[in-house]
Amino acid sequence: EPTDDQESYNRYKDLISTLPTQRWVGDDLCQYHGFWFLRIALEGLMAARDRFVARSTDVILVTFPKSGTTWLKALTFATINRNRADVAEPNHPLSMLSKLNPHECVPFISFLYNDGRLPDLDSLHEPRLFAEHVPFSLLPESVLGSGCRIVYLCRDPKDNLVSLWHYMLARAHARGLAQYHSFDEVFELFCSGISMGGPMWDHVLDYWRESLRRPERVMFMKYEQLKGDTGGCLKRLAEFIGCPFSEEEEREGKVEEIVEMCSFERLSELEVNKNGRRGIGSREIENKEFFRKGVVGDWKRHLTAEMAEQLDRITEEKFRGSGLKF
């Protein structure tokens, strides 16, 4: 007799096999409720929507893929845990940030439900900290009703595309795939909304609008702002998630300490991020792929002036009237 769980995972598999599919670099994308997802991510996403039970104290980091998720995870994890006792203990969260990749410190909700797993999230320390890439319309239903807080991060579409491209190439190489799209083809697909998480503009706009509607629940940030004033953004973030830095902490340089602890230079030099890997099977990836350059404007080395103009034009048209600009 199959259990309820097996039955629902079979249902997800059946549903996924009926979705529109598109080859993308070395992966398959499937279109679900208007957005494109890596095929291997969908089962977990569907299961999380059915099963994840949010709490009002949860903090969920939502990002468009390759917009700085790893960095945001590190910053938030350090901020939330900075005043927990036992700082000297080897297992203290702040020590973990020197030993683990930030993705091991803050899990993606959907990944927890991959491969038919039923994670026990009740025993996690509060406030629980999770991440997600899903569009607003596909967040687990309990998230919307729970009153939990969502921090959203996105990035100039030009840099986001370049970062995505390198990441997808790395994924393809890791699995020994020789045939993939050219950058020009990926550019065209991205412009027409086809990319992991795409259409990017819809993803961004939905969270932007929600951050205007419910600013106490959704905080909207851009990678460029975070780069330009990391300390200022971190203070805002800390306040938003309910653990503001006290005047004393600010005087003691606690903000700068966390900014430094999570800097590209420091994280990318850690042993775990130079030589470690995570995930299994088709999800396996080397940790160093999450630390490529970490700068604003690298698109200039990859996009022609015409490509940049075309992408900027699309962004402007899509965001017109929303108050959002890049």
Site for ligand A3P in 81-120 (CB under 6 A): none
Window of 7-15, 19-27, 134-142, 289-297 that interacts with ligand A3P by CB under 6 A:
289-297
Q: Which residues, in sequence order, are CB contacts of 80 under 8 Å at separation 6+?
A: 59, 127, 129, 241, 243
Decide: is 27 part of the binding site for ligand A3P (CB under 6 A).
no
264: closest CA among 287, 233, 295, 285? Answer: 295
Residues 264, 276, 283, 326: which binds ligand A3P (CB under 6 A)?
A: 264
Tell which one of 138, 150, 154, 262 touches ligand A3P (CB under 6 A).
262
**Cα–Cα distance, 315 to 312 (Å, whole number):** 5
The distance of closest approach from Cβ of residue 123 to ligand A3P in the complex, given in angstroms and rounded to an integer, is 27
Using CB under 6 A as the binding rule, whether residue 146 contacts ligand A3P is answered as no
Burial class (CB in 10 A: 0-12, 13-18, 19+), 288: middle
138 binds ligand A3P per the rule CB under 6 A: no
Which amino acid belongs to residue 194? Answer: I
Contact predicate 52/140, CB 8 Å: yes
What crossing angle do the helices spanning 69-81 and 254-261 adopt, rounded to 10°? Answer: 140
Rounded to whole angstroms, the Cα distance separating 103 from 298 reads: 24
Helix/strand/coil for 120: coil
Q: Which is nearer to ligand A3P, 55 or 288 (CB)?
A: 288
166 closest CA partner among 189, 183, 153, 184: 183
Measure Cα distances from 58 to 94, 137, 146, 147, 242 in Å: 19, 18, 9, 9, 11
Q: Applying CB under 6 A, which of residues 51, 99, 166, 283 lies at the interface with ligand A3P?
A: 166
69 lies in the site for ligand A3P, by CB under 6 A: yes
Would you count residue 163 as binding ligand A3P (CB under 6 A)?
A: yes
Nearer to ligand A3P, 67 or 315 (CB): 67
DSSP state of 149: E
Q: Nearer Cβ to ligand A3P, position 10 or 275? A: 275
| Contact window for ligand A3P (CB under 6 A) among 22-30, 116-124, 253-261, 284-292 | 284-292
How many residues line the site for ligand A3P (CB under 6 A)? 21
273 near ligand A3P, rule: CB under 6 A: no
User: In which order are the strands placed within the sheet that holds 21-24?
Assistant: 21-24, 27-32, 35-38
Helix (H) or strand (E) run with residue 131 in it: strand 129-132
For ligand A3P, which residue of 24, 43, 61, 66 counts as binding (CB under 6 A)? 66
Judged by CB, which is closer to ligand A3P: 69, or 81?
69
Q: Does 291 bind ligand A3P (CB under 6 A)?
A: yes
**Using the rule CB under 6 A, is 159 a contact of ligand A3P?**
yes
**Residue recorded with tokens 């973990």:** 96
- Catalytic residue list contains 173: no
Q: Which of 142, 263, 282, 310 binds ligand A3P (CB under 6 A)?
A: 263
Q: Which of 92, 125, 133, 181 is catalytic?
A: 133
Q: Which is nearer to ligand A3P, 136 or 167 (CB)?
A: 167
Nearer to ligand A3P, 142 or 268 (CB): 268
What are the backbone dihedrals phi and psi of residue 226, each rounded to the nearest 5 degrees, phi first?
-65, -40
Tell me which residues are annotated as active site: 133
Contact residues for ligand A3P, defined by CB under 6 A: 63, 65-71, 159, 163, 166, 262-264, 267, 290-294, 298
